[in-house]
Structure 1
């Protein structure tokens, strides 16, 4: 196999953007606060581009993190559906005049959330445009908070879909509309909207801004939520907070959010699906494991992840797929390349559509293929799935 994989991907994009500017590695490395050796390994596919390193390089290059990682291409047949979805989003305050049955809407939203949990991006894309128009129409007709919660829930899924593909213009518009709907709903729905809004900061590499937004939302949630809803909302926000802190390398902030997330998860007892997002002990364990990887606590991450899997996970593919990606990250850093390949292939088996577009999956594939200098059936299978030419 070649020493350098030139297939486009997160790490390879760094070199493309650097050469577009006519910069030498020394110059970019200095601007990003990293060694030339580290930058060279990232560009050659000998070391994966982490989100924290990616944010530093994006800032040095004058782009956002999502721009550095590169948007996922629109799949054949989805262009028309995405046009319809954008049109539905524009008509947020323009009712269609077509009545919709409340019971059918409830069933359709439940089906959408199930498809989201399965990480079925194609089916979610197909279902969203019509459903969004109908839930908006119904909420305008009734004006009831529960119906505006349903609108916010659908917009949360629009954000999820757009963020997975790094279509950030759509993602940012989605969270804006989600917040507008949430303001007509209730305090818990507004908390979910704040979590997703902080996600756009995460996607763009502005981890500090996202963390500040989370802290504001926590203060508001503590004063507006009561009972079980309070634990649900706070767990949701602390999960976002620990992820942002981990990406920043802020150990104290990460520890604070981890402790708070675990405490609220104990009160919830069993994971529940809150408007398409899981909160509770299991998802907390999955998030903590990922943050350990971000903080370079690889052995602890591996122990946490494998312990969770031994206990028998019940979370859906949208959470288990990234769990295996993070296991692959930890194993690669611990020099277990074969184990990393196995974990990444498992992520593909669990959530193939997500793995096809997820930057961690793409980057790990690029690096693992590059590092294997001899024929390996598993690596060959991984390269084929990712579209890397050997």
Structure 2
């Protein structure tokens, strides 16, 4: 077990640093970090925060996933999930090839039903089921889009690209998630819908957040907001704009611009006051945010934004932003006042528990940190199992425990430590 723990993020940073011929002081200066903090991370005395990982990755010229150890191939193979990625990769490569005569697609409304079903699987974090079904539906959608050229068909395909973006990122294939974002941009150009085009830029910005390209992400965010200026007024526009401000807030935190990030959070909160909590169930329910009875497929295509937006998600992003600023005590206080509504998507609820586990850990509340991890496991097991932040928290809990606890040992084994 000790050997497995020692292979984690701090040790990888030290290994890559040595490969580059850098001392701790040299890397700290390049990454604009304290040498003391870097030393503690490398020797496992302090957990590696996402912003520290991104800073070290930029300074070392590697991807953050390289330092995180993603994707966790051994665990994916053990769970027989690695074989699901290649069909998604192949489906994403079909976008520019035109109509495949061997594909017999179903009507657009049937494909919209399939898109909705698979999207719900992702929000419920049933990632394996979504990954199994996605490639075939995507191939049909590509065929329809190229055959008809109809904007609704391209919009539908963009929604499936969004699903691929989520699945590949959650399994740790961040390069492939960037491909999915670029495919969504291609489809959205042909959908001729400014709010969908903004969604694609938002996806690209999120990919930049994960890869540590914060300045590029900021520029993409600015483009997405310009697109939203041409979108129709209504809840859909407000939810999309607010969600983009949430992404911008995290980008600014990672860039070290806390005041700018706070402004984006405040702006998102203003939009949340207009929309209330918007969830997939609300997009697809009997009382959708916007009624479009004459263009149901078009509405559903635009509804594939599937933004989980509103006061609850703004509070969740405040927790994440505070944790990234190392204000973990305040993050815990925000978490204690947050009441996750019934029916809120497990994908987002699980992330809240994962973020709170990190803040509990940093404030010395190890038992609370572990309870938050168990909450994340309960509501979003597949997402929790492959999340690098979960692994880093577990590593620190194992290092700090005075005696081995069976439940923590079993949890560590479950996530692959």
For normalisation by structure 2, the TM-score amounts to 0.86
Which protein has greater RCO, CA pairs closer than 8 Å, 6+ apart? 1
Q: Deviation digits for residues 23-64 of structure 1, max 9, x if unmatched?
A: 433332333232333122212322111111111111221212
Aligned to 2:221: 214
Aligned to 1:47: 46
1:313 Cα offset (Å) = 4.5
Q: Report if aligned partners of 2:275, 2:310 keep a CA contact under 8 Å in 1.
A: yes
Distance 1:314 1:257 in 2: 26
Structure 1, unmatched stretches of 5+, are: none
For 1:81, which of 53, 61, 84 is the aligned residue? Answer: 84
Aligned to 1:141: 147
Give the match's secondary structure for 1:116: helix
Aligned to 1:189: 196
Q: Deviation digits for residues 75-104 of structure 1, max 9, x if unmatched?
A: 234444322222222211322232312332
Q: Report if aligned partners of 1:337, 1:368 keep a CA contact under 8 Å in 2.
A: yes
Mapped pair 1:32 → 2:31 = yes
1:7 Cα offset (Å) = 4.8
1:227 Cα offset (Å) = 2.7
Indicate the larger mover: 197-206 or 284-293: 284-293
Give the match's secondary structure for 1:314: coil
Aligned to 1:348: 377
Distance 1:317 1:165 in 2: 16
Relative distance call for 1:240 and 1:361 in structure 2 (3 A) is same
1:178 Cα offset (Å) = 0.3
1:229-378 to structure 2, matched below 5 A, reads 229-273=236-280, 274-275=303-304, 276-309=306-339, 312-378=341-407
Q: Report if aligned partners of 2:105, 2:141 keep a CA contact under 8 Å in 1.
A: no
1:244 Cα offset (Å) = 1.1
Q: Report if aligned partners of 2:386, 2:415 keep a CA contact under 8 Å in 1.
A: no
Q: Report if aligned partners of 2:124, 2:346 keep a CA contact under 8 Å in 1.
A: yes
Indicate the larger mover: 227-236 or 153-162: 227-236
Deviation above 6 Å: which 4+ runs of structure 1? none
Aligned positions, number: 386
1:22 Cα offset (Å) = 4.4
Aligned to 2:186: 180
Q: Report if aligned partners of 1:165, 1:357 keep a CA contact under 8 Å in 2.
A: yes
Relative distance call for 1:249 and 1:315 in structure 2 (3 A) is farther
Mapped pair 1:10 → 2:17 = no
Aligned to 2:287: none
Aligned to 1:91: 94
Distance 1:79 1:339 in 2: 33
Q: Report if aligned partners of 2:206, 2:247 keep a CA contact under 8 Å in 1.
A: yes
Distance 1:270 1:23 in 2: 48
Q: Deviation digits for residues 298-346 of structure 1, max 9, x if unmatched?
A: 232222222223x635321111111011111111121111111111122
1:348 Cα offset (Å) = 1.8
Indicate the larger mover: 336-345 or 72-81: 72-81
For normalisation by structure 1, the TM-score amounts to 0.92
Relative distance call for 1:326 and 1:313 in structure 2 (3 A) is farther
Distance 1:256 1:49 in 2: 26
Relative distance call for 1:182 and 1:163 in structure 2 (3 A) is same
